[in-house]
Structures are given as structure tokens and as C-alpha cells.
Chains A and B, each alone.
Chain A
């Protein structure tokens, strides 16, 4: 079986390498891409889509179909990580550690029904507990809002400067991961629950595909945002610009939720009980 797999892999690789000889050579100025496509994008992007950043216009408008499946791939990575790592039921009896904040005494509780009576004075801690670090926690608390603000700026400003849904989504996800690193996983999960994260992940892809389907319903091609002009009450060219923003928001949501999802599953070994 392994040998068969090897043969298939080698054959496919050979075929792929063989076909590359038919490609135009790299950077060839007389290739079809350089003679027809690139000049069209460079000269016509601003008047066709009213987006100053050509990269964003190509990514989310001209090649929108491609980007939609890139988002789906990211969603698929999150789902795969979830199915591989998440442990649905606890097999061994759960032990939870509670630390008395005034005395530093730690209680180990095996039965879940008997939680400490006066819970205000106790805090739940991880097995590998690290003492409270004032510097790191304070600085992270101070920085996280600015990181999230910057992420939203990157998403919304993708029309004019480098950035867009993928980059902004990653920064937004990193801010939640920073919260989980500087505090612990439970604190981060209180801010964004596991279920909400999964739903957001799917909603992001749905926004993208839904925008495309809406264009189809309004009588134009899939992901041809000029169809949205009648809904948004703008001219078709501005509608393409707005359509790009809508799908970028979807991409940002999907990327953010997937980042957090993968991090949580890996850092807690799929248990979501403790972790960084």
C-alpha cells in the first residue's frame, strides 16, 4: 500500500513538473498574463471598482471566487483541528485546583459537586500554575484594545493601504490569544465562548458566499458586486467597492475565529479545561 502511494505521488509529481515546461518563462513580457491581464488591472481598476489598492481589487473582486475558497480552506483547517483534537467527554475523573487568594493554600477537589463554599476568596488555577505577574498582565490589558482597534483599521482600510480581511483577522485573533497567554485559557474563553467562536467562523464564510449568492439572485454573475447597487443605493462602481468591504469583513471574522479555535484546541489538548 505504501509503495502504491509512493508510485502515485512520484507519477503526479513528474506530470506536474513536466507540464511546467509549457508555462511561459517567469516574468516573460510577451506572456498572455503580461500583455492582456496585468495592463487591464493596472489601468482600469480605479475606474471599474473605485478601489485605489489594485491588490485588494484583484483579490476580492476580479479573483473573488478564488479568495472565497481560500476562506473555506481556512474554515476547513479549523474544523479539521477541532475534529482531530477536541475531546468530547472526560474519561478520567476531573480534578480541579482552587487557590485561597489570602493564604495561598491550594485545595484539590476531585468531586465536582463539592466546590468550595466561599468562592469569592478562592480562584481556580491550572495544574501548572504560575504566580500572578503584574507587569505582563497590566501591559497586555493595556495593549489588547489598541491591537483590536488596529486590526479593525487594517480590515476597513484594505481599500487604500496594504491590509484586508486576512491580515486584520489574524491580528484580531492574536489579540485574543494574547489574552489567553497573559491570563489563562478560561479568562479568554469567558470573553469568546467556544460555540460562539465556531459559529463566527462559519458566519464569516457564509457572509462571503452569501454576498456572492445575493449578486446571483439580483440577476448578475456570482460575486459581481455591482448587482448590490440597488440594495445599497449607490452607483454600480461604488457598489463594487462596498461589496469588497463586505466580503473582507466575512474573511476577517472567519480568520479570527479559526486562529482562536486552533490555538485553544492545541494549547489545552482539546480539553478546554486548562491551558495557557
Chain B
């Protein structure tokens, strides 16, 4: 059980680190949003599942309820975070921001 929790936490951390580096390093608005969405969705997905599993060490009704609440948070983040990113990208396209192409300057 502990090994699964550790592995899931590390996968989540990899996503968070990659997302943080990506937000800083990518060249333009759209490509920066991509790691932002990944980080929120996949990173917190793996980490919260790991925490929900870790919480079940003492298996009682109370800990089961807490874990269920964590899973519910996962579901809602999984739904709302990509939608928010989609909405932001949509607004960018409608406002007329052109995507970055190779050879251009960072912006």
C-alpha cells in the first residue's frame, strides 16, 4: 500500500514540476496554458488519489468518508480545470491572438 502511495505521489510531483517549468519556459500564451491545465488536472489527480489511499490505513467509516470526499474533489477538479483552460484559450482565439510559430520571438 505504502509503495503505491509513494509512486502515485511521485507521479503527481513529476506533473507539478513539469507544469511549473512549462509555465515559465513555453514561448507564448497558448502553449503556456497547456502545462497549466496538465498540472492542475493530472498532478492533483494522482496526488489526491494517493492521499485518499493513504488515509485508508485505518479502515473505518470515518476515514472511508474522508477518502470519498477526496475522490469527489478529484472528479470536480478533473471536470472544471480543463474546462476553464478551454474557456481561456477560446477567449484568446476570439480576441484575435495568433499562436506562436517557430522562429518567432518569445512573448
Contacts and interface: CB of A to CB of B under 8 A. Distances in A.
A62 B76 CA distance: 37
Contacts of B90: 133, 136
Contact of B94 (A130, A140, A142, A143): A130
Nearest to A133: B90
A102 interface: no
Nearest to A150: B76
B94 A139 contact: no
A83 interface: no
A143 B76 contact: yes
Interface stretch (B12-20, B24-32, B53-61, B78-86): B78-86
B92 interface: no
Which bucket holds chain B's interface residue count? under 10
B80 A139 contact: yes
A135 B83 CA distance: 7
A143 B80 contact: yes
Interface in B43-95: 76, 79-80, 83, 86-87, 90, 94
Nearest to B72: A146
A61 B58 CA distance: 38
A139 B83 contact: yes
A143 B80 CA distance: 8
A130 B94 CA distance: 8
A140 B90 CA distance: 16
Given A142-B79, A146-B76, A136 B94 contact: no
B57 to A, nearest CB: 23
A2 to B, nearest CB: 40
Contacts of A140: 83
A17 B79 CA distance: 50
A233 B38 CA distance: 55
B79 A135 contact: no
Contact of B87 (A136, A142, A143): A136
Interface in A109-146: 130, 133, 135-136, 139-140, 142-143, 146
A136 B84 CA distance: 8
Contacts of A146: 76
B93 to A, nearest CB: 11
A139 B87 CA distance: 11
A246 B105 CA distance: 60
18 contacts: A130-B94, A133-B87, A133-B90, A135-B83, A135-B86, A136-B83, A136-B86, A136-B87, A136-B90, A139-B79, A139-B80, A139-B83, A140-B83, A142-B79, A143-B76, A143-B79, A143-B80, A146-B76
Given A130-B94, A136-B90, 16 more contacts: A133-B87, A133-B90, A135-B83, A135-B86, A136-B83, A136-B86, A136-B87, A139-B79, A139-B80, A139-B83, A140-B83, A142-B79, A143-B76, A143-B79, A143-B80, A146-B76
Interface of A: 130, 133, 135-136, 139-140, 142-143, 146
